[in-house]
Amino acid sequence: MKPYQAYLAASIITPCLLLAIASCNDTKTSDRMALCGSATLDSVYAHYGVEGSFLLRENYPSDDSYRATYLASEEQQSQPNAYSYLWPFSGTFSAANALFEATADPHYRKLIDERVLPGLEEYFDTLRQPAAYSSYISSAPQSDRFYDDNIWLGIDFTDLYRLTREKRYLDKAQLIWQFIRSGTDDTLGGGIYWCEQKKGSKNTCSNAPGSVLALKLFRETADSTYLREGMALYEWTQRNLQDSTDALYFDNISLKGKIGRAKFAYNSGQMMQAAVLLYKLTDKQDYLDDAQELAAACYGHFFSDFTAPDGESFRMLRKGNIWFTAVMLRGFVELYAADQNPVYLNAFRKNLDYAWEHARDSHGLFETDWSGVEKREKKWLLTEAAMAEMFARIASAHLPESEPAQ
């Protein structure tokens, strides 16, 4: 039996046995959420795995005609992809990290070291300097490199270092930061570009998490350069991309100063997290005020009133990119640790419980419509990884055992 086959055989058994013992609705919140996250990640590896490889498919069922539509290059978007692009694959790193944090189970450390990171290294590009992760595997024709893709990985490596204190993870995060620094200049007064090969805009999705990564690196290294960079990115994004009418964040600004006015959950969520980190690091109340204002705005914009068929009413997350929602949740979790207001996380908890019962198919995979009304045969890898991450994040928060707020 090859190493990856032996690993998979061992990794899928334990959580499935746990599911046979306890339903995700029968235990206290933290245990229930961790159990659901574990089962969801098992479903990912069961349905997206590629025989003989640490890589994953992008969709289930797999479709040879699928073309990614979220890339910067039309030429790349026209290419068939036998494996997932980096962005969806990276979601499994975040999910496994979150489950490791929630449970302290060495199973997830083993999963990261023996399955996730070997797969991730197939995207690592050392031909172009500074070295960084490409949007597709490095053995294929050279693909674009995105600053935000690499930032998400840097955050995960930094979080993993915080959990394990193993320096090789911090080294990787700092290496990634060198690439991120190469994507900054004085155009528009600062900020990080979105794509190395297509420097046409500076986006909230690179600058907000860029601030988060820099602040986390400062927390772990005490190198004040990271603190200055994190503060500068936060202030640049707030100055250039925040909508003064509702506190939410626009998507991007072109080099000509035109604002891309779409508002996505992860952009505002990452600015919320950066604000809380700045509050914790500086003890300045203004940052906490920023985060709380943004939390209220996100709750008003990205949730809507919902009444279930049984007559129960609650605030449901609007249908959309589930991974964007998962990244927004990181901001709410960071805020809860600072102000202990459980209202927002209770809303997420209620949504996740409802999705578990109404928006999960026979394969253990989730719909993007958590009401369960809209069904799709094809499920995207990043959606499923994000679901596993969210269950784990709520598990780690250790919410009071009470009914979710309505």
Closest CA to 340 of 288, 265, 406: 288
Tens digit of each residue's pLDDT (9 = 90 or more) over 142-182: 999 999 999 999 999 999 999 999 999 999 999 999 999 99
pLDDT > 70? residue 248: yes
pLDDT average, residue stretch 14-42: 72
Rg of the chain in Å (alpha carbons): 20
Element (H, E) at 12: helix 3-21
pLDDT > 60? residue 77: no
pLDDT at 141: 87
Handedness of CA 42, 157, 280, 277 (dihedral sign): negative
Q: What is the value of pTM for the model shown? A: 0.92
Number of helices (H) and strands (E) in the chain: give both, helices first.
Answer: 15, 9
CATH topology of domain 3-397: Glycosyltransferase (1.50.10)
Closest CA to 90 of 35, 159, 184, 9: 159
Task: Report strand pairing: 259-260 vs 201-203.
Answer: unpaired
Closest CA to 39 of 378, 314, 352: 352
Tens digit of each residue's pLDDT (9 = 90 or more) over 116-148: 999 999 999 999 999 999 999 998 889 999 999
Closest CA to 60 of 390, 380, 391: 380
- Residue boundaries of the structural domains of the chain: 3-397
